[in-house]
A and B are shown apart, each in its own frame.
Chain A
Amino acid sequence: MKALEINGLRKTYDNGHVALNGVDLEVEQGDFFALLGPNGAGKSTTIGIISSLVSASGGSVKVHGHDLQSERNQCKLLIGLVPQEINFNVFETPKNIVVTQAGYYGISKSLATERAEHYLKLLELWEKSDRPAREMSGGMKRRLMIARALVHEPRLLILDEPTAGVDIEIRRSMWAFLEEINRNGTTIILTTHYLEEAETLCRNVAIIDDGSIVEQGAVSELLSRAQFQTFVLDMKQAPSTQPDLQGMTVLKCEGTRLEVQMRLGDNMNKLFSQLDNLGIDVISMRNKSNRLEEFFLQLVGNNDNGGAA
């Protein structure tokens, strides 16, 4: 039995906008799954339908074998949601927010209080738990939504950009936390624009663009199919003409900055020997974007090669 099974999911919003155009998706139990795609691709719409906040226009969703249409409440019990936008009452205290959410899942006050304390402590929010939530920073608010989503101990945790606007230190501690949750058996689906996140955390990935899934598979397998990577080189002096490099493409040459796209697996020495022959000194070099991002941009046909984040 799959944790999530989506077939031919379609959504046309009231204004006529077609957000989902037949989405098919399968997520195994225990998986750590990334749903990637550019802004407006339909990630939040898909998540909205799974979590009963958006009504589908067609297709089917099954959660642990329960059909969302006919057994909606069974599905709801299994799902925990961390939405993209803050959606708690900021005048309430974190403790009340989490305990109240537990109540909506039928959890008694005493157990709810116990669990609220447990998760708020795990997410390092306990000190602030009796102050109005509006006093918390953005990163704390995101973590509060994670605590709230876990209080009924869902089998499937769905996070819509949980680390948006969170600094790298907190992000890493959130990663460790989510990995722990996943190790304990909870299936996790997340969306993110930080592709490093998907690479670090996730085993499987689906890429959605313009309302359809364009690619789906293991992160490692998808990466092995990534064909190109782009390097940004800083040169000591600006060359008089754009260098012509054999077996690779110069995407940009502006002042002392050079962007070169190479086939994955090509020997880097080929680049440096050519530059050396042209009398160009390289001071520093870095990856323009990570490989997943590169691949992702190739897939969705974005020629700009800029960062998707």
Chain B
Amino acid sequence: MQSITSVNIVAFKTIVTKEIRRFMRIWVQTIVPPAVSAVLYMMIFGTLIGSRVGEMDGHQYIDFIVPGIIMMAVITNSYSNSVSSFFSAKFQNHLQEMLIAPVYNWVILAGFVTGGVCRGLAVGALVAAVSLFFTRLPVENPLITITVVVLTATLFSIAGVVNSIFAKSFDDISIIPNFVLTPLTYLGGIFYSIKLLPDFWEGLSFINPVLYMINGFRFGILGSSDISIGWSFMIILIFIALLGSVALYLLNKGVGIKS
């Protein structure tokens, strides 16, 4: 009999392939719209308004916001990929295809998360490519840039799975993105340096985890940011460990997927 480990290696590849095929098949809905809105942000905020803003934290305004806009696309898309994929698998019952097979729960989780990361990176790369029409995108620290973006995509993919484990209807999968994710991203310093904020609000911003990701990414690209890179990594890794454990615990308990 085949070893369960080798079964799981193939199973992991199968889930990832299926996930990538899923969002590539509907690329007009999954890849293009985020790029369009990113272009609008860059045109309106970066070029039109940005020319009046002048410098932000020592950079041209457009240069300052582009890393944030790329990150926003990565966050939203990695999240929405795993939330919609996992929820529809659960809702249409084809998640059962995995649940009856000898696949470890952490492999199922890793498969969906990797799918979300791939979508986040695909959209992020497209937005980055488009941004070259507006800015130079220096990428001072390529390694840091890549690591931060991959870890962030991982984190939000896991969050998407957790959301869809609890979700009972399609309404439930839009509440968190609309009421938690979007505010946190906008307030995470995409468009401004938190140094501009009054003390109280600047202090409050530090409890927003997204701030650390956007600034970590900005550090990778521009070489400077509001937050030290060490903090960025620490916060992201802590949240990955936390949410990852929650997701695995829920899957092992069968919450929302087994009766």
Contacts and interface: CB of A to CB of B under 8 A. Distances in A.
Given A52-B99, A52-B100, A103 B10 contact: yes
Contacts of B259: 13-14, 48, 54-55
B102 A106 contact: yes
A151 B15 CA distance: 17
A25 interface: no
A73 B4 contact: yes
B195 interface: no
B197 interface: no
Interface in B103-132: 103-104
A245 B18 CA distance: 68
A169 to B, nearest CB: 28
Given A54-B258, A104-B14, A106-B2, A73 B102 contact: yes
B101 A89 contact: no
Interface in A1-22: 13-14
A164 B2 CA distance: 34
B7 A106 contact: yes
A51 B94 contact: no
A268 interface: no
B66 to A, nearest CB: 36
B97 A105 contact: no
B23 to A, nearest CB: 13
A56 to B, nearest CB: 11
Contact of B97 (A74, A100, A107): A100
B13 interface: yes
A88 B101 CA distance: 14
Contacts of A74: 1, 4, 102
A51 B6 CA distance: 21
Interface residues of B, number: 30
A244 interface: no
Contacts of B65: none
A101 interface: yes
B10 A101 contact: no
A51 B98 CA distance: 11
A36 interface: no
A106 B258 contact: no
A77 B102 contact: yes
B18 A107 contact: no
A89 B96 contact: no
A106 B100 contact: no
A81 interface: yes
Given A77-B2, A103-B10, A108-B10, A53 B96 contact: yes
A52 B92 CA distance: 18
Interface string A38-60: 00000000001001111100000
A76 interface: yes
B97 A76 contact: no
Contacts of A108: 10
Nearest to A77: B102
B98 A104 contact: yes
A81 B11 CA distance: 18
A87 interface: yes
B14 A100 contact: yes
A53 B100 contact: yes
A213 interface: no
B192 to A, nearest CB: 42
A87 B94 contact: yes
B101 A76 contact: yes
A150 interface: no
B250 to A, nearest CB: 14
A51 B10 CA distance: 21
Interface in B7-27: 7-11, 13-15, 17-18
A101 B18 CA distance: 11
A76 B94 contact: no
Most chain-A Cβ atoms within 10 A of its Cβ — which of B8, B92, B102?
B102
Interface in A88-147: 88-90, 100-101, 103-108
A55 B258 contact: yes
A208 B11 CA distance: 36
B254 interface: yes
A85 interface: yes
B93 A105 contact: no
Given A103-B14, A106-B11, A85 B102 contact: no
18 contacts: A13-B259, A48-B259, A53-B96, A53-B100, A73-B104, A74-B102, A77-B102, A85-B93, A89-B92, A100-B18, A100-B97, A103-B17, A104-B14, A104-B97, A104-B98, A106-B7, A106-B10, A108-B10
Q: Ordered nearest first, which 8 A-B pairs have the shortest CB separation?
A: A103-B14, A106-B7, A104-B101, A73-B102, A87-B93, A76-B102, A106-B10, A89-B94
